Amino acid sequence: MNDDGQKRDAPATPHASRLTPDDPVDSVVAAFREEAGRGVSSRSDFERLKGRYLGREKGLVPALFAGIRDVPPEGRAAFGARANAAKKEIEEAVALLSQALERREVEARQAAEAVDVTLPGRRARAGGLHPVTIVRRRIEQIFLRMGYSIADGPELENDRHNFEALNFPPEHPARDSQDSFFVDRKAASPLLLRTHTSPVQIRELARRGAPLRVIAPGRVYRNESVDATHAAVFHQVEGLVVERGISMADLKGTIEEFFAALFGPETKARFIPTFFPFVEPGADVAASCIFCKGRGCAKCKQSGWIELAGAGAVHPNVLTACGVDPEEYTGFAFGLGLDRVAMLLYGFPDLRLLLEGDERFLSQFASEA
């Protein structure tokens, strides 16, 4: 702080002499240099230091200027000049300290946010398709190749589509809550969770008319007690073909083709007559056991066959209910148990595995698409 003017004035103004140990300007500057020299450790530390010297109210530098009143008039100019120089030095030093602090804060922040690129990566575990989805897609591919399209229907159905138009008589036991989950019995056509995918036959045929060739995979619900081979929620794939001149022979040929594509070319299909209200004739369809090739084993309970579907020629009443003339068109339909097929293809023993979400089971299918 070499102030020539001040030096010249000094002898005449002993009060303001900077050589005096308790000269107020010198002592403020000296105290600041010492404190600032120690540095600041934090933003609040810095703010305290800045406030102590430059604070408008109680700062030591403003106090110097206030003290100018006590300096004899002839020394005031010199004192003022030195106080200004001190103020400038302190302000500049404070600005530098602030910049340094800011740099350190940025560095600290960057260090905290830094990614350690030398750490080993966390491998993302890929999910997989559910076995029922895998099997559904395979079945869809097979039927798409045969010229079918894929249809969908609501899981919350009404009595008309689930039963009535499918030729179920009013007193049929499936209409009882023993077998069906009713949601609203008082609706004009009572609402229930569909017990099979067959109502999609009605919806598609009524909407699109004949000729028609569709499959309709989906979830179905039955009021069953759950065990290794029964679930209250399971999956079916419905098939429906309505064209001129369709017969049971077309059904058999289609099912044989389908089994061969899904289980292997040597697989045989067996049809045993049975009753479903919406087909005539109706059949229970079984595939020759894929484990023992029909010789008989534990999986097929020594029968050589595994039952997979219901099927038949579409009942004329169903065609009529959908506005299709049964004299002109005939058709076949089938309903396949999807979960059963998955059990068979993958050889697992309990249907409940499909519902439990156990990763140890499901991850075994992750590599399949």
Strands (E), the chain: 149-150, 156-158, 182-184, 191-193, 212-221, 233-243, 269-274, 279-288, 305-314, 330-337
Unique residue bearing structure tokens 């120089």: 85
Give the C-alpha distances (Å, rounded to integers) separating 210 from 39, 78, 241: 91, 111, 9
In the shown chain, the binding pattern of residues 167 to 186 toward ligand PHE, with x for contact by CB under 6 A and - for none, equals: --------------------
Q: Is residue 111 classed as helix, strand or coil in its secondary structure?
A: helix
In the shown chain, the binding pattern of residues 202 to 241 toward ligand PHE, with x for contact by CB under 6 A and - for none, equals: ----------------------------------------
Shortest distance (Å) from residue 276 CB to ligand PHE: 4
Shortest distance (Å) from residue 298 CB to ligand PHE: 25
- Minimal CB distance residue for ligand PHE: 335
Q: Is 333 in the site for ligand PHE (CB under 6 A)?
A: yes
Q: Is 312 in the site for ligand PHE (CB under 6 A)?
A: yes
Amino acid 73 reads P
Q: Is 334 in the site for ligand PHE (CB under 6 A)?
A: yes
CA distance 100 to 110: 15
CA distance 17 to 257: 114
Shortest distance (Å) from residue 279 CB to ligand PHE: 5
Q: Is the peptide bond before 281 cis (omega within 30 degrees of 0)?
A: yes
The smaller minimum CB distance to ligand PHE, of residues 190 and 282, is found at: 282
Q: Is 276 in the site for ligand PHE (CB under 6 A)?
A: yes
Phi/psi for 146 (5° steps) reads: -90, 10
The smaller minimum CB distance to ligand PHE, of residues 82 and 196, is found at: 196
| Residue 36 CB contacts under 8 Å (≥ 6 apart), including other chains | 49, 93, 94, 97
Shortest distance (Å) from residue 129 CB to ligand PHE: 25
The window from 73-81, 91-99, 327-335, 341-349 that contacts ligand PHE (CB under 6 A) reads 327-335
CA distance 180 to 158: 12
Shortest distance (Å) from residue 203 CB to ligand PHE: 14
The window from 24-32, 71-79, 333-341, 357-365 that contacts ligand PHE (CB under 6 A) reads 333-341
Q: Is 198 in the site for ligand PHE (CB under 6 A)?
A: yes
Cβ atoms of 173 and 179 closer than 8 Å: yes
The window from 39-47, 102-110, 140-148, 309-317 that contacts ligand PHE (CB under 6 A) reads 309-317
The smaller minimum CB distance to ligand PHE, of residues 257 and 280, is found at: 280
For 328, the token pair is: 């002109």
What residues line the site for ligand PHE (CB under 6 A)? 196, 198, 276, 279, 282, 310-312, 333-335
